[in-house]
Amino acid sequence: MRQEGGSEIVELREMLEDILERLGKIEKLLSHFFQFDDGLAIAYALVMGGIATPVRVLESIETLRELTARAKEIGIADDISRVILSIIAVRGSVSISELTRYVREVRGSASRRIVSERVMKLKELGILDVETRGKKKMVRKKGEGLR
């Protein structure tokens, strides 16, 4: 009986190694596509970081494309602003604190001050709205209500 249990564990380990190898190949393939599409790369990072579900990202693709196209039109090309716009597209309205946390999860680092500065710049350019609710500043796409 113990022998049988041991072989089951070996089988499970082999299956897991096979799955991990396949996932590695998929990630490598996806990373190749991300070189050509920043929006896709950021969407993938949002899903992998637990910030959004794949379904939510798919539902938000049009908003994401609209926001990033608008940003490119007016010359916004920095990584932090692109990530901010992607998060807003997927999450709707978020506070500056939440936004900073999400940007940090996607990029690995982010300061509240820098995120706030980028949000204010995007507000001045007419891409985002910022509304104060009590002690929180809520950020959303220009023209959309708070969720």
CB distance 93 to 147 below 8 Å: yes
Neighbours of 74 (CB within 10 A): 11
Handedness of CA 102, 92, 82, 138 (dihedral sign): negative
How many Cα atoms sit within 13 Å of 68 on the Cβ side? 23
pTM of the model: 0.63
Taking only the tens place, the pLDDT of each residue in 84-132 is: 988 888 888 999 999 999 999 888 888 999 999 999 999 998 889 999 9
Q: What is the pLDDT of residue 113?
A: 95
- What's the pLDDT tens digit per position in 7-65? 889 999 999 999 998 888 777 766 655 555 556 666 666 776 677 777 777 777 777 77
Q: CATH 1.10.10.10: does it fit domain 38-141? A: yes
The pLDDT of residue 94: 93
